[in-house]
Structure 1
């Protein structure tokens, strides 16, 4: 199961956008939340990433910031409060070739309709990747191609833009070290069961029902699933449901009963009990307190290994 291809393919229903932004002096930009996936590549200078519920993250040339599910965030010359930053303009602006203190590329797929793929929706709101440009020189070339593509409007931009945004996202997600184990699962039977779990977490799944989806008998399915994914089917199902529920708590104002139903629990009390066992806090406290929860690493951005070389 190639979940990265599946996830990126799902956002192609949206519009691919790209631009270069140059900033100098005291500057700050807020990128409002949207339905889709977006990224920034730092070309020159040093700045800061800010987002709700996390400490500011220092950025260096070559770093890539990804918002897998379009979460609101900001970039600025120094740590600041996200709400104090002005929203970025959405109109296309010509690239200013003059030297700047900080330069970065933006790329995004914006979805007019539909929902974010479950894989992207389950990722942290914001991740920071410091790619290995030495080991993956093709990424350095790709950054240069995207920079050239957004420099001016030319015939064929509609095709090249989407292709380059696709490639950037694929390369960055490959290098992100926080992807779930099931992203690499190629066994078609187990991949089918995983798609069922992620696509319909509210369904009353049992091992027998998942085995039927996989086209296997119960015992061999359970053994193969555990060996490939690292957890028994129902343990993995519970983990996924609660991770999805945690994201809904932080990103929506839906009542607890509605969230419980969306993630497969018959009552809010059953969901609350399972959530407390998994995260160590009640759902209400998790929703109302922005401080990271010790047993919930997704509350903070993930930075991959530092890059030995920069573009």
Structure 2
């Protein structure tokens, strides 16, 4: 089962943003927790990642810092305690003018509603990935494209920014998978369970039942439910519902399709049943969710 693709699909319901930051002298910033996934990429200079448990990691050009579920962390010119760092400004300020000692890109998906994918929560709070341009020569190219993208807003920026964030996050998750040797990386290796998951992802509109998923998996009902729940973390039908609503949230953000059409695309026979399920999951009716994310996108700083 391709967990990375599943994760990227789930976070696309969030708002994509990115900006370039420069620092000089004795600098430092603490990034408060948020609901979402984010990263930093060092462009030039050296610094340190500061984690909640007090550990520090040296950073150099090409280093990637990944916050899989938005945990608090900091960046600094030298090892320091996290609590001593000033809270980072997340406003629309452009990079500081003049010479600088440290330059980096920040990118993230913020989930205004909903939950972080459970597989991301299985990863460490913050992951530092050292540069390896010999084995991964494509990261500098992706980084350069994102740096240019945040320099100015142009037609299509919303689409290009999300696409570049996706590519960099896929790269970071793959590198972490390699770096950890799979020890801390969740996986669904059971072929029957993986087949059932693929079917749900590919066809959320299908009227799935436990028995239909059992047939795809080629397993008995009792064995399937037990194995699915152990590997995925929730019972089959709860997972189906969660995936459908994640897909619906993404469609509400990315399209202007009528609510009735979205309901059918994600497997609900009526707009009413879809709205009830969506409200339980996201705390808002679908129409209000769409208006809320539209207002948030309009009010968000362009970088």
Q: TM-score, normalised by structure 1?
A: 0.62
C-alpha distance in 2, partners of 1:239/1:190? 9
How far the C-alpha of 1:56 sits from its partner, in A, is 1.1
CA pair 75-181 structure 1, distance change in 2 beyond 3 A: closer
CA pair 213-82 structure 1, distance change in 2 beyond 3 A: farther
The aligned residue for residue 133 of structure 2 is 133
The aligned residue for residue 60 of structure 1 is 60
How far the C-alpha of 1:193 sits from its partner, in A, is 7.0
Contact 1:94 1:152 in 2 (8 A): no
C-alpha distance in 2, partners of 1:94/1:39? 18
From 218, 223, 226, give the equivalent of 1:216.
Answer: 218
Q: TM-score, normalised by structure 2?
A: 0.64
CA pair 240-59 structure 1, distance change in 2 beyond 3 A: farther
The aligned residue for residue 144 of structure 1 is 144
From 214, 226, 230, give the equivalent of 1:237.
Answer: 230
How far the C-alpha of 1:192 sits from its partner, in A, is 5.4
CA pair 151-213 structure 1, distance change in 2 beyond 3 A: farther
Alignment RMSD:
3.1
C-alpha distance in 1, partners of 2:186/2:102? 37
The residue matched to 1:74 in structure 2 has which SS?
A: strand
The aligned residue for residue 175 of structure 2 is 175
**Tell me, which stretches of 5 or more residues in structure 2 are unaligned?**
199-210, 235-303
CA pair 142-186 structure 1, distance change in 2 beyond 3 A: farther
The aligned residue for residue 194 of structure 2 is 191
Contact 2:122 2:186 in 1 (8 A): no
**Tell me, which stretches of 5 or more residues in structure 1 are unaligned?**
196-208, 223-231, 242-311
The aligned residue for residue 288 of structure 2 is none
The residue matched to 1:162 in structure 2 has which SS?
A: helix
C-alpha distance in 2, partners of 1:103/1:19? 11
C-alpha distance in 2, partners of 1:39/1:7? 15
C-alpha distance in 2, partners of 1:103/1:186? 44
The answer on 1:82 being equivalent to 2:85 is no
CA pair 186-239 structure 1, distance change in 2 beyond 3 A: closer
Contact 2:195 2:217 in 1 (8 A): no
How far the C-alpha of 1:54 sits from its partner, in A, is 4.0
How far the C-alpha of 1:60 sits from its partner, in A, is 1.2
How far the C-alpha of 1:51 sits from its partner, in A, is 1.5
Matched positions, count: 217
How far the C-alpha of 1:127 sits from its partner, in A, is 0.5
The aligned residue for residue 265 of structure 1 is none
